[in-house]
Structure 1
Amino acid sequence: MALALVGGAALGAAFGELLKAVVDVKDKAITFKSNLDRLESRLNSLEPIVREIGKLDRELDISPEETKMFTDRLKEAAKLVRKCSQTKCLKFFKRPSYSKKLLEFEDLLVKFFQTDVQAMQTRDSRKTLAKVNEIDGKLDRIWSGVRKGRQVCDSNVLVGSCGALRVSDFIIGLDAPLQELKMKLLQDGVQVVVLSAAGGCGKTTLAKMLCYDVEIKGKFQDNIFFVTVSKSPNLKVIVQNMFQHKNFQVPEFLNDDDAINKLGNFLVNQTGTSPKLLVLDDVWSGSESLILKFMIPIPEYKILVTSRFVFPRFHSTCKLELLNDEYAMAVFRNSAFRQGESSNIPEDLVNKIVRGCRGFPLALTVVGGSLCGQPEVIWRRTLNQWSEEGKSIFDSSSDLLIHLQTSVDALGEKIKVMECFLDLGSFPEDQRISATALIDIGVELHDLDEISALANIHDLFTRNLVNLVLTRKDASEVDGGEHFVMQHDLLRELAIHQSSQEPVEQRKRLIMEIRGNDLPKWSIEQMQKPLQAQLLSITTDEAFSSNWCNIQLPEVKVLILNFWTKNYGLPEFMEKMDQLKVLIITNYGFSPAKLSNFPLLDSLSSLKRIRLENVSVSSLGKSALQFRNLQKISLIMCEIGEAFTNCTIDIPHMFPNLVEIDIDCCIDLVKLPKGLCGIASLKKLRITKCHDLEELPEELGRLTSLDILRLHACTNLLELPKSIGSLHELRVLDISDCLSMSQLPMGIGGLRGLEKLDMRGCEFHKLPPSVKDLLKLEEVICNKEASDLWEPFKTHVTNLKINVLDEEINLNWLPNLHF
């Protein structure tokens, strides 16, 4: 019973054993039946609390010593109960003694939960408050650093900057390689260890496991730096990561040598003689010089390199082998068969599929996911397709791609899901991709609605073709605003490979990856010929000088520009993209980039969606641009404080048909411009994680068409404007984690169409009487204290459901910072 529920925690196991003993014994020990019945009732009432304690102890890694004394008493009580079953063997004078001991234990049980546990809760609440204050201080430093043109990071806050994310709980076959890797890494006289294996073998997973190994953490403490290098490494960005990981201001670097010199001084001065570990993940062939630069002569400084390639210069190499048959079968079954369900797939067919994957963890996971829930005929078709190729998945990574291709082909008639998979190749490798960007593409390029576009992402996730990152535990909103996608680089290669099968002039997607100023040969050859591509993705590195070729792309509907520079000029050939509907511009560099040639957008009459990330749009208001058909604008980590000030054109006139505004992590936004409140067509306004936002204008009440208003984690926002009661069409209001907000406006009852209110994280002490007029309100999401405030109003708001969610300290919502 409880023993199975509490998952093996020391307290939970002892509690479960006692409850089991009581249930087994109570009908046998007639003499003590009343005592045991009462004890069973008491234990059953306490079981959910113990289960929650056990769960939290595991999640928070709390030592069992905390409750050891009480755990021991539980074990003693279980022995006592077992003795009670031996009624006939007990001497008559001992029976009252046993009865007394049972009563004493019941009193102890009550005392522990009424006194000790409450004391622990009080202490833990204060610890949580202290942790929140600590995080709040760190956030202040982060955002103030961004305002000063730098970004300050802490390993405990932003693991995405230079820290390894934890791996899945289900890891098979890596225990022995982990021990071998540790032995080589901790060996004296060895500075660089290379972990080499083919793509999809689990190198990155093993490196992350190493970072969380108890012995490694004990040695290197918080001086473990995990950096993904990939095909186009940027040494200065890697060094910036390392400074940020230690929460230090990042200096300006003249060049790579200057960056390494300053890194050496930093490591010596700030970490002293403490051991240091740098993990360079996914290093490609030709990057040996990068590794050499990081070999700074510092005592107790180690470097772990993971790569598909072997670097003979570094003699200490671990080769990660493929999984043996036993481990391969376990990995495959974990993906191919739902837990607890029986399968009618013949065992010999399962064995053949597993053998065909030849021990590649990625292939086993992806192929298994694609076959999960499929009938036997689909399994046999997959096996036949492999046989037709006449090659082994073990031969080369290209053959691995061929076998993975069958998993994509297994999407069958789900053409739109396949299209979504291919779209993922448009973004740089090893970067987190916002689901809203993919939704924008799906809506305008594949004629989907937003719900279907998001559902396609979930389909890819269930087939293990992408990893889905939810930034909140309950992130289930259909707008995808809290979803991000990451993809293994082999699967990204597969998407690009699949998109490149036709001749250049016939491809639906053109994906250009430019290193330096080396333009693809085809782009020069095709300058005089119109191309048929509907999606164009261009990725340039820091060395690109914006010397664009004049290619003709009259059919392009989606343009994705990825870059790493401080100044970026939009390509002039955009001016002739008459069909362009979606423009996604992302700067993966260190600070917001300045865009030039912005007036080119004025000629794009078909443009419906613009997404700008980590760029400065301060000059937008100084232009006379008119986005006549623009329906959605997304500004992510942008400098927008002066974007709409001193406008040469009226803002509603600039955006006459705008339906949606999404502003996220724009830290220089202090006050929402009044002009935006004049856009009569606006239905969705999302302002999230804008920590300097202090005020919303009273003109907000003019947005009478507004359907959704999200103000999540605007921590300095004090209140909602009084005019909000004029938003009669508003269905969803999200003010979650607006920590400075202490009350709702008196006129909140004017929101006659409100159906959902998310107010968790808000410390409200009372509600205005007018909330009784929110007759359409169906759901309120809040903390326990706020739920009590709503109870008296349920007699008026008859369909109201109060959803109490536990508070969580979760910083996954913070942006990836693109390193």
Structure 2
Amino acid sequence: MSGAGGLIGGAALGTAFNVLYDVLDELITKNVIFAPLLKEIKSRLDSLAPLLKDIEKSNRKLDLSDKELVDLKEHLEKGIEVVKKCKKIRWWSLYKRYKYANKLIEWDESLQRLLEILNVQGIRDMKDSSLSVRNIENVLSRIESNLVIPKQPDSDAWCAVPQLPPLVVGLDGPLRELKMKLLKDKNVSMVVLTAPGGCGKTTLASKFCQDKDVKDTFKDNIFFITVSKKPKLENIVQDLYQRKGFPAPTFENEVSAVMLLQRFLKEEGQNPLLIVLDDVWSGSESLVEKFDQFKTENHKFLVTSRSEFRGYGFPYHLQSLDHDNAMKLFHHSASLGDKSAHIPKDLPEKIVERCKGFPLAITVVGRSLCGEPIEIWQKRVIEWSKGFSILDSETELLLCLERSLGALDKEMVVIKECFLDLGSFPEDQRIPAAALIDIWAELHDVDTDIECIANLYELTKRSLANLVVTRKDKMEGDGYYSEHFVTQHDVLRELAIYNTKKGPVEHRKRLIIDICGDNLPKWWREQKHQPMKARLLSITTDEGFSTKWHNMQMPEVEVLVLNFQTKNYGLPESVVNMDELKAVIVTNHGFLPADLSNFQLLSSLPNLKRIRLERISILSITKNPIQLASLKKISLFMCNIGQAFNNCSISISSAFPNLEEMNIDYCSDLIELPAEVCDLSKLWKLSVTNCHKLSALPEGIGKLENLELLRLRSCTELSKLPTSMKNLGKVNFLDISDCFSIKVLPEDIGEMSSLRKINMRQCSRLQELPPSVVDLEQLEEVVCDEETKYLWESFSSCLNNVRIIVAKENINLNWLHKTHF
């Protein structure tokens, strides 16, 4: 037998090892599904072979009990069983692929625990072994964290910098920026480098350590430590000492480990010192803190993680590759070279485009296509065009990305569920945070908008999404989230969708359906009146969809998300059977507002609480009588409103008798708020923002006796406020920021007895305040500009408890991209 297996003798332990090695060899050549992971395990066995050989030869000398060897033998035999079962898995069985890939990983982890036990028994001190156990542990850690085994020397390599891959692209710019921070900025001693798994964080950290300027600065005081999931400070400190040639210290507890770490940094840090903490998992803030607290001008720390560690170090986010570098990496991974002449130019372009600059995706796809006939390349592109995920064929990529979700512990279950919901929206589109607020409130019982936004920050911190705030001012915590959006790398979106597909379709919690033309999924066309269990249903259609819906039996759906691009769109007739439906999100991704038909079908739903419409002609939905007795919240974003509500066959108060919240954002044709809005007696929140043609509010607005929040943000043509506002006795927050046409406030504004906060930033034409402001006894905070600050200061003797905040402009240009909403 060739390879490492031939190094093991014929005894019980060697026999099990040899059988496992042979089965791996066979499966790698015949089964592409698990090939990347199996190659890593086989490479692991190549490294372990010398050690296992010495164990069998020297077990008595090392005083090992039979039990440890029996356990190791049994574990190798279990590995044989798992690998043999992998031979039977077919590529289309998503659940089994994921299940057995995890079994392989679990087997790997158990092997590592067995090696730790053997380590305790004295194997680590073997002098004649060609590979130390600690070196093995380092190899195992890198396998787990990167699914790539860097070639290590046979001698002990404590804290050694991993070797760079044969080709490194797209990191010259980030390298310059890291050097600028860690070598030249005296105020920065720690940089936290974050990105999703597979984006090249470890490669960039290794490249940084091997840069000439860095080596000239730190010389032999460069330490590279792979931390991974369950870090032990004691092990890290031992590695640091052994890297400098000292005996490994022993510890009574973690306190003594901290003391020895401090001593090490103090002694070795007399000269410039660099420590890289690679692959630090979420939840390891205490470890980062222990290093951060010992920072000095000579100590520099580079932390790589999929999660941000806010409060520690300078945050640096690694971006995806640009097109040119992505193509270079793909050509190298696919070993095209001169062979590229036989591959049509459009094929690599389409494949690289699908990977969206994600280095690991480019690498594994390139390797999987390397040497394959052109038909295999073409088949892959055809499959993707039919809606197949890149993760369907690339197990290595899937497992790497799954680790990001695995990092969400039991306390973060809701965060993981929120991540999976992000797949409900089309790729390459900003996801409105306001839509997610509606979804999460009903699906996950997230009661407040603040909690929803906090969840988005958690996802951003873990590099699973990116929260983009486009508002121009820096004010936070005021409850205005219409200018908060979420972006996500397409590969991460595919990860979310992939996770929703586990298990039979009729039992999935989420059904996310992407329809090209009128090509419905086969399971939908063939559905034989079998009800689905989904709580969330998302349907995305393109411009070729003709709105011919097949029947859907989905009685348990609570959230319906519809994304479309056509000028005319009709709600599915089957919504009348969705008795549990609580939230409807309808988004037109076309350029102009679309007509929406069948809206009256929603009147039959007893539990519908929330509706959000984007780029919809409201006139098209008010042609037919509608009555939504249970509706609590309606949001209209970039809709055409015109006189739609005035021409409605039923009054607003009759259509929405229990409405509590109305949001109207970026509705450019809204000139005057319909007077009937004032009859919504249960309304507690009215938000009208960025409606630049709105010139007047109805005089009857004072009838909204339960209103608590009135937001009229960025309504630039609004010149005055109704005098009846004095009757809004429950309003505690008034936002008229960016309403720069307002010249005066209502004379009797002082009668708004509950008013606690006013935001009047950029109300530049306001020349004076009415004397009645002195009666605002509950007023606590006023947000204004330098130009209008003096207006309030003149009343400071009467308004002792009022805090005046001068708003500053946020110097970023995110708001310029609103056309891409």
Q: Which TM-score tier does this pair reach, normalised by the shorter chain? A: 0.5 to 0.7
**Deviation per residue, 1:557-604 (Å, 9 max, x gap):** 000000111111111111111111100000010100111112211112
**Deviation per residue, 1:391-444 (Å, 9 max, x gap):** x99645542332222222212121111111111000011111111111111111
**What SS class does the counterpart of residue 619 from structure 1 fall into?**
helix
**What SS class does the counterpart of residue 633 from structure 1 fall into?**
strand
Residue in structure 2 matched with residue 612 of structure 1 by the alignment: 613
Q: For the residues of structure 1 that align with 2:708 and 2:646, how far apart are their CA atoms? A: 26
Does the CA-based 8 Å contact 1:761-1:807 persist in structure 2? no
1:436 is aligned, of 434, 437, 442, to 434
Q: For the residues of structure 2 that align with 1:542 and 1:206, how far apart are their CA atoms? A: 40
Tell me, yes or no, if structure 1 residue 596 matches structure 2 residue 597.
yes
Residue in structure 1 matched with residue 791 of structure 2 by the alignment: 789
Letter in 1 for 2:664: I
Residue in structure 2 matched with residue 274 of structure 1 by the alignment: none
**Deviation per residue, 1:777-809 (Å, 9 max, x gap):** 111000012111101222222210000013468
**What SS class does the counterpart of residue 537 from structure 1 fall into?**
strand
Residue in structure 1 matched with residue 119 of structure 2 by the alignment: none
Residue in structure 1 matched with residue 800 of structure 2 by the alignment: 798
Residue in structure 2 matched with residue 33 of structure 1 by the alignment: none
TM-score normalised by the chain length of structure 2: 0.54
Q: For the residues of structure 1 that align with 2:761 and 2:753, how far apart are their CA atoms? A: 21
**What SS class does the counterpart of residue 739 from structure 1 fall into?**
coil
Letter in 1 for 2:305: G
Q: For the residues of structure 1 that align with 2:677 and 2:816, how far apart are their CA atoms? A: 26
Task: From the superposition, tell whether residues 776 and 368 of structure 1 become closer, same or farther in structure 2 (CA, over 3 Å).
Answer: same
Tell me, yes or no, if structure 1 residue 407 matches structure 2 residue 287.
no
Q: For the residues of structure 1 that align with 2:567 and 2:578, how far apart are their CA atoms? A: 25
Instruction: Tell me the CA shift for residue 688 of structure 1.
Output: 0.4
Q: For the residues of structure 2 that align with 1:204 and 1:638, how far apart are their CA atoms? A: 43
Correspondences of 1:449-598 after superposition (within 5 Å): 449-450=447-448, 451-472=450-471, 473-478=474-479, 480-598=481-599
1:326 is aligned, of 206, 215, 231, to 206
Does the CA-based 8 Å contact 2:564-2:587 persist in structure 1? yes
Q: For the residues of structure 2 that align with 1:753 and 1:625, how far apart are their CA atoms? A: 35
Larger displacement relative to structure 2 (503-512 or 410-419): 410-419
Residue in structure 2 matched with residue 712 of structure 1 by the alignment: 713
TM-score normalised by the chain length of structure 1: 0.54
Structure 1 portions without partners, runs of 5+: 1-197, 210-307, 309-318, 357-364, 376-391
Task: From the superposition, tell whether residues 321 and 801 of structure 1 become closer, same or farther in structure 2 (CA, over 3 Å).
Answer: closer
Tell me, yes or no, if structure 1 residue 368 matches structure 2 residue 305.
yes
**What SS class does the counterpart of residue 550 from structure 2 fall into?**
coil
Residue in structure 1 matched with residue 421 of structure 2 by the alignment: 423
**Deviation per residue, 1:150-177 (Å, 9 max, x gap):** xxxxxxxxxxxxxxxxxxxxxxxxxxxx
Q: For the residues of structure 2 that align with 1:743 and 1:593, how far apart are their CA atoms? A: 38
Q: For the residues of structure 2 that align with 1:345 and 1:470, how far apart are their CA atoms? A: 41
Instruction: Tell me the CA shift for residue 352 of structure 1.
Output: 9.2
Instruction: Tell me the CA shift for residue 744 of structure 1.
Output: 0.9
Does the CA-based 8 Å contact 2:600-2:624 persist in structure 1? yes
Q: For the residues of structure 2 that align with 1:471 and 1:322, how far apart are their CA atoms? A: 32
Task: From the superposition, tell whether residues 366 and 683 of structure 1 become closer, same or farther in structure 2 (CA, over 3 Å).
Answer: farther
Task: From the superposition, tell whether residues 343 and 583 of structure 1 become closer, same or farther in structure 2 (CA, over 3 Å).
Answer: farther
Q: For the residues of structure 2 that align with 1:813 and 1:498, how far apart are their CA atoms? A: 33
Instruction: Tell me the CA shift for residue 739 of structure 1.
Output: 1.6
Residue in structure 1 matched with residue 445 of structure 2 by the alignment: 447
Q: For the residues of structure 2 that align with 1:688 and 1:587, how far apart are their CA atoms? A: 20
Task: From the superposition, tell whether residues 751 and 422 of structure 1 become closer, same or farther in structure 2 (CA, over 3 Å).
Answer: same
The alignment-based identity, stated in percent, is 49
Task: From the superposition, tell whether residues 564 and 620 of structure 1 become closer, same or farther in structure 2 (CA, over 3 Å).
Answer: closer
Correspondences of 1:109-148 after superposition (within 5 Å): none
Does the CA-based 8 Å contact 1:536-1:560 persist in structure 2? yes
Does the CA-based 8 Å contact 2:613-2:639 persist in structure 1? yes
**What SS class does the counterpart of residue 469 from structure 1 fall into?**
strand
Correspondences of 1:354-393 after superposition (within 5 Å): 354=279, 368-370=305-307, 372=309
Does the CA-based 8 Å contact 2:595-2:620 persist in structure 1? no
**What SS class does the counterpart of residue 538 from structure 1 fall into?**
strand
Residue in structure 1 matched with residue 327 of structure 2 by the alignment: none
Instruction: Tell me the CA shift for residue 769 of structure 1.
Output: 0.3
**What SS class does the counterpart of residue 585 from structure 1 fall into?**
strand
Does the CA-based 8 Å contact 2:549-2:573 persist in structure 1? yes
Instruction: Tell me the CA shift for residue 327 of structure 1.
Output: 4.1
Correspondences of 1:209-228 after superposition (within 5 Å): none
Task: From the superposition, tell whether residues 367 and 809 of structure 1 become closer, same or farther in structure 2 (CA, over 3 Å).
Answer: closer
Letter in 1 for 2:729: H
Residue in structure 2 matched with residue 766 of structure 1 by the alignment: 768
**What SS class does the counterpart of residue 495 from structure 1 fall into?**
helix
Task: From the superposition, tell whether residues 371 and 455 of structure 1 become closer, same or farther in structure 2 (CA, over 3 Å).
Answer: closer
Q: For the residues of structure 2 that align with 1:631 and 1:781, how far apart are their CA atoms? A: 30
Instruction: Tell me the CA shift for residue 485 of structure 1.
Output: 0.8
RMSD value, Cα = 3.7
Q: For the residues of structure 2 that align with 1:621 and 1:815, how far apart are their CA atoms? A: 31
Does the CA-based 8 Å contact 1:401-1:490 persist in structure 2? no
Letter in 1 for 2:662: I
Instruction: Tell me the CA shift for residue 481 of structure 1.
Output: 3.0
Residue in structure 2 matched with residue 171 of structure 1 by the alignment: none
Q: For the residues of structure 1 that align with 2:439 and 2:680, how far apart are their CA atoms? A: 24
Letter in 2 for 1:448: V
Does the CA-based 8 Å contact 1:475-1:482 persist in structure 2? no
**What SS class does the counterpart of residue 618 from structure 1 fall into?**
helix
Instruction: Tell me the CA shift for residue 482 of structure 1.
Output: 3.1
Does the CA-based 8 Å contact 2:202-2:278 persist in structure 1? no
Does the CA-based 8 Å contact 2:517-2:543 persist in structure 1? yes
Q: For the residues of structure 2 that align with 1:693 and 1:371, how far apart are their CA atoms? A: 42
Instruction: Tell me the CA shift for residue 354 of structure 1.
Output: 4.8
Instruction: Tell me the CA shift for residue 353 of structure 1.
Output: 5.3
Aligned length: 481
Instruction: Tell me the CA shift for residue 498 of structure 1.
Output: 1.1
Residue in structure 2 matched with residue 56 of structure 1 by the alignment: none
Does the CA-based 8 Å contact 2:507-2:534 persist in structure 1? yes
Does the CA-based 8 Å contact 1:366-1:404 persist in structure 2? no
Residue in structure 2 matched with residue 212 of structure 1 by the alignment: none
Does the CA-based 8 Å contact 2:308-2:461 persist in structure 1? no
Letter in 2 for 1:409: G
**What SS class does the counterpart of residue 658 from structure 1 fall into?**
coil
Correspondences of 1:591-740 after superposition (within 5 Å): 591-740=592-741
Instruction: Tell me the CA shift for residue 455 of structure 1.
Output: 1.4
